[in-house]
């Protein structure tokens, strides 16, 4: 019996050391993470977006809510009319347990994370109408502890931003059941010019 206790203690100690080491980095889970975790951890150590929020402020992180944290960033702040505007969104699990959120996909649209846009005067910008919906898929998606999901979204495909001006953008996602709460990123300012 003592042998088993020692083995269990050593295994638990190694697991805690490993978990403590990975808490410094959030591994991006693109599916099948368990098959190549060591490789993904090494990649995470080389990218700023895998650092904790306080060490990656350009990620424009929102507050931790129900164990989730959401980030929104753009490659630049000024875009020209008609130029693709790609948002990078990270949805992170900051806890030591598996969390789940709902994802919905609509044919012809980007990924499942919502985006909100206002003018610099606070006027809400309505999304471009979808029209007829051909295909919708909804399911729960799990996020392992100390990992994150990454989405690249075309803001200009969701909102008509052909007018010159300054816009405020943030990402948002409902989490939790039966009473969902909204998690948000920090607000990011972008400019559209000729």
- The H or E element containing residue 101 is strand 99-106
Looking at domain 58-193, which CATH architecture does it have? Sandwich (2.60)
pLDDT tens digits for 167-177? 999 999 999 87
Q: Structure pTM?
A: 0.82
Instruction: Determine whether 75 is exposed, middle or buried from the number of CB atoms within 10 Å of its CB (0-12, 13-18, 19+).
Output: exposed
Give the residue extent of every domain in the chain: 58-193
**pLDDT recorded at residue 102:** 86
Pick 107 or 150 by higher pLDDT: 150
Judge whether 144 and 113 are in contact, CB under 8 Å.
no
pLDDT tens for 45-95 read 999 999 999 999 999 999 999 999 999 999 999 999 889 999 999 999 999
């Amino acid at each position: 019996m003592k042998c088993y206790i020692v083995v269990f203690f050593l295994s638990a100690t190694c697991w805690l050391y490993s978990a403590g080491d990975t808490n410094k980095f959030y591994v991006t889970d693109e599916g099948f993470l368990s098959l190549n975790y060591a490789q993904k951890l090494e990649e995470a150590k080389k990218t700023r977006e895998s650092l904790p929020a306080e060490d990656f402020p350009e990620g424009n992180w929102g507050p931790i809510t129900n164990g989730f944290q959401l980030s929104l960033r753009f490659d630049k702040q000024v875009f020209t009319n008609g130029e693709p505007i790609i948002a990078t969104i990270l949805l992170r699990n900051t806890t030591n347990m598996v969390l789940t959120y709902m994802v919905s996909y609509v044919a012809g649209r980007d990924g499942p994370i919502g985006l909100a846009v206002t003018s610099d005067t606070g006027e809400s910008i309505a999304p471009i109408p979808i029209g007829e919906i051909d295909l919708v898929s909804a399911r729960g998606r799990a996020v392992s502890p100390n990992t994150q999901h990454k989405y690249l979204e075309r803001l200009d495909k969701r909102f008509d931003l052909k007018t010159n001006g300054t816009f405020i953008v943030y990402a948002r996602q409902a989490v939790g059941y039966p009473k969902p709460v909204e998690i948000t990123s920090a607000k990011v300012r972008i400019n559209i010019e000729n």
